[in-house]
Amino acid sequence: MQEPAFRSFLSGRLSAGSVDSYVAYCGRVRRDLGVDLDADDLSEPALSNLSLRLAQSGAPPATVRNCLSALRSYAEFRRRAAAPGAEPPSAPAGRAMRITAEQRAAWKANTAAGPFNLWLDGQVRDVRGAFDLGRLYDLAERYGLHKRDEYARLNPGQQRMNLGNLLRRVVPASVYEAAADPVPEVEIVPEPPAAPMAAPGPLGAASVNELLALYGQIMDELRERGVVRTGNSPVGDYGELLFARAFGWTLEGNSSAGHDAVDADGLRYQIKARRLQTAKGSRQLSAIRRLEERTFDHVAAVLLDGNFKVLRAIIIPYAVVRSGARRREHTNSWLFMLEDRVWKIPGVRDVTAELAVAQAAI
């Protein structure tokens, strides 16, 4: 690990405390998993697999997310260092950054390695792990902070600090404590179809994941023989379990409520799950009832492969669902297609990594 150069790369983006934390998280991955950060694959699929290995080793979910964020930064550091004619990474261009004593004290009092800053860092990075100023302003505006014109004269580092301090005051603690580092645009690549597995012996001794994999193969065979027409159940219940385990939501017992779970702030979630039997399987979610009545605040959806492995997961605000759903008159319901483009809509949240960690812990 090229620690001095990596620290220099991070210093133009993060506070000293955050730099120390990122280096420590990378060091943990190197020690615990035996990863050579300068030689091993750090592509998105490889990073997703590393996050699963960390979860399986017993690392807490928050630690897994933080390690993943640090590894993304190291991957970006490697890419820039390897670029033809690359200069040593440096701070973003712009006006010299002037930090007042009060601002410096605020950063020290609220350590950059804390839940809020780790959550914010995950919100404002693009798919390559690079700081994206546009994402920061989009996030600020979702919380009523309209500062684009006022802060345009400042360099990116100063803008990030000022907006971060303002966001800390208005973002509910439950948002960043529940997901310290939500990761944008993470996709876990499905593994090749597994070889048919033998029955695991007494079913009581099998793990949940072994039972689901066996169930998926049984349903596929029954469909091939014409015994059943679909293989979806128990997809819905499993999706609800994954989201509840990942975020600590309380599942509703009343199926007529119009939502399936509630978080600590009272926000309501309708949970959808879709098992893709092939790579090109339909992404259409099950019917949404009473959409006009707004019986939920978000749709939480997960795509599973044929063996019930998490492929992608997302949390979608009601407004996005309402604008993208199409009405089916004869069933008095609404349909929503979970295409890849949905992950790019402002306001949605990619939670693939969180659900994959929850699945590994079941």
């550091």: which residue's tokens? 77
Q: What average pLDDT does range 67-74 have in this prediction? A: 82
Q: What average pLDDT does range 118-138 have in this prediction? A: 69
User: What is the pLDDT, as a whole number, of residue 271?
Assistant: 93
User: What is the pLDDT, as a whole number, of residue 106?
Assistant: 54
* pLDDT value at 109 more than 80: no
Q: What is the rounded distance in angstroms from the CA atom of residue 232 to the CA atom of residue 66?
A: 34
Both structure tokens of 288? 């949404």
Q: Is 314 helix (H, G, I), strand (E, B) or coil?
A: strand
pLDDT digits (tens, 9 = 90+) for 231-264: 556 788 888 889 999 999 998 876 557 898 999 8
pLDDT tier for residue 174 given thresholds of 50, 70 and 90: low
| DSSP letter, residue 227 | S
The residue extents of the domains of the chain are: 3-178, 203-361
Q: Is the Cβ–Cβ distance between 113 and 18 less than 8 Å? A: yes
Q: Is 284 helix (H, G, I), strand (E, B) or coil?
A: strand
pLDDT tier for residue 314 given thresholds of 50, 70 and 90: very high
Q: Is the Cβ–Cβ distance between 247 and 263 less than 8 Å? A: yes
Q: Is the Cβ–Cβ distance between 157 and 99 less than 8 Å? A: no
User: What is the pLDDT, as a whole number, of residue 180?
Assistant: 40
Indicate whether this model's pTM tops 0.85: no
Q: Is the Cβ–Cβ distance between 185 and 352 less than 8 Å? A: no
Q: What percent of the chain has pLDDT over 70?
A: 75
Out of 110-124, 136-150, 236-250, least confident range: 110-124
